[in-house]
Amino acid sequence: MLKKLSGYTLALIGLTILFSSCKKDYESIQSVDAKKITDYISKNNLTGLMKEDSLKTGYYYQILSPGTGTTYKNTDSVLYNGVVQSLENSTVYLTTDTNGNLGTYVGYTNTLNGASIPAIRDVITKLKPGGKARIILPSYLAFGKNGLDASNIPSNENIDLYINTAPEKIQWQLDDRRLRAFIAAKGLTMIKDDSRVYYSISAVGTGTEVISLTSTVTAKYTLRLIDGTVVQSSTDGTFSAVLNTVIPAWQKVLPGKLLAGGKIRMLIPSDLAYGTIGQTGITANACLDYDIEVTAVTN
């Protein structure tokens, strides 16, 4: 009996050794990401420039430009945008907004394209208006194991994120700066309306009906973003609407300035266009560039 037990014992020990030798040790995503990030920082001579976050959650940041004024608080408004790229190969996955901006209270800046990224808020609170920062995010603090299909961000991708805050805290002030810069860059001659719309009239028109908010206006138009992208066009003269049902800029500028046959170009701040909501092809807080020809006015 003793010999049988000894045999069983030896067999059990042998199986234990066998299974132990076959067992693999799998590293956690946290340790894998941490090694990649620290290796990157060392290889690119960023030691001392990139700071580990104070809670040591895994991200690193660098203040590229502190900005001016007072440091942002959670209750402040912030106008900002950013560039999301691969830490590994610098592939740009996402430019958050080239025509408008991401604008909200600082306390709500902890998400990006549906992903929870508290590091953005943490770093913005270290900036002042006009400040810029770089954030290196481990995958588990960015888009995680699911990535982001819409921007081709793969699973478990470490992210190099650049955040730029505007000097302004009020949207219309940022819009006005952008429009003035656009006008200067294009060498345009524009008049600034009291509404803050910039416009130039190439033909007043020869019609007899005066445009009012209750007029039905028929028009040809082309709508562009200020980067030149055409997002809407109706050049066959079939567009027709009562003026008080279209965007505020049309309502504020067309009455008293054009008649049927009139042609105008308008550069429009976002609050007089599609505002913080936007619509298909038009991002939130986007300024617009309209060419309009009024073909008929009915009162």
Intrachain domains 29-165 and 171-298 with the same fold = yes
- The pLDDT of 122-149, averaged and rounded, is 96
Q: Whole-angstrom Cα distance, residue 169 to residue 179?
A: 17
Q: Whole-angstrom Cα distance, residue 299 to residue 297?
A: 7
Q: Does the pLDDT at position 6 exceed 80? A: no
Q: Whole-angstrom Cα distance, residue 273 to residue 275?
A: 6
Q: Does the pLDDT at position 21 exceed 70? A: no
The CATH topology of domain 171-298 is: Chitinase A; domain 3 (3.10.50)
What pTM was computed for the model?
0.79
Selected from 3.40.50.150, 3.10.50.40, 3.30.1360.30, 3.40.50.2000, the CATH number assigned to the domain covering 29-165 reads: 3.10.50.40
Q: Which amino acid makes up residue 52? A: E
Q: Does the pLDDT at position 166 exceed 90? A: yes
Q: Which tokens in the block code for residue 173?
A: 């002030």
Helices (H) and strands (E) in the chain, counts: 5, 15
DSSP characters over 215-259: -EEEEEEEEEETTS-EEEEEEEEEEEEEGGGS-HHHHHHSTTT--
Candidates 97, 104, 108, 75; CA nearest to 162 is 97
Q: Sorting pLDDT into bands at 50, 70 and 90, what band is 24?
A: low
Average pLDDT, the chain: 91
Q: Sorting pLDDT into bands at 50, 70 and 90, what band is 2?
A: very low
Q: Whole-angstrom Cα distance, residue 165 to residue 179?
A: 18
Q: Whole-angstrom Cα distance, residue 190 to residue 192?
A: 7
Residue 243 CA neighbour count, 13 Å, CB half? 22
- The pLDDT of 62-76, averaged and rounded, is 96
Q: Does the pLDDT at position 98 exceed 80? A: no
b/e per residue, 215-240, with b = 16+ CB within 10 A? bebbbbbbbbbbeeeebeeeeeeebe
Q: Whole-angstrom Cα distance, residue 88 to residue 276?
A: 34
Structural domain boundaries in the chain: 29-165, 171-298
Q: Does the pLDDT at position 16 exceed 80? A: no
Q: Does the pLDDT at position 4 exceed 90? A: no
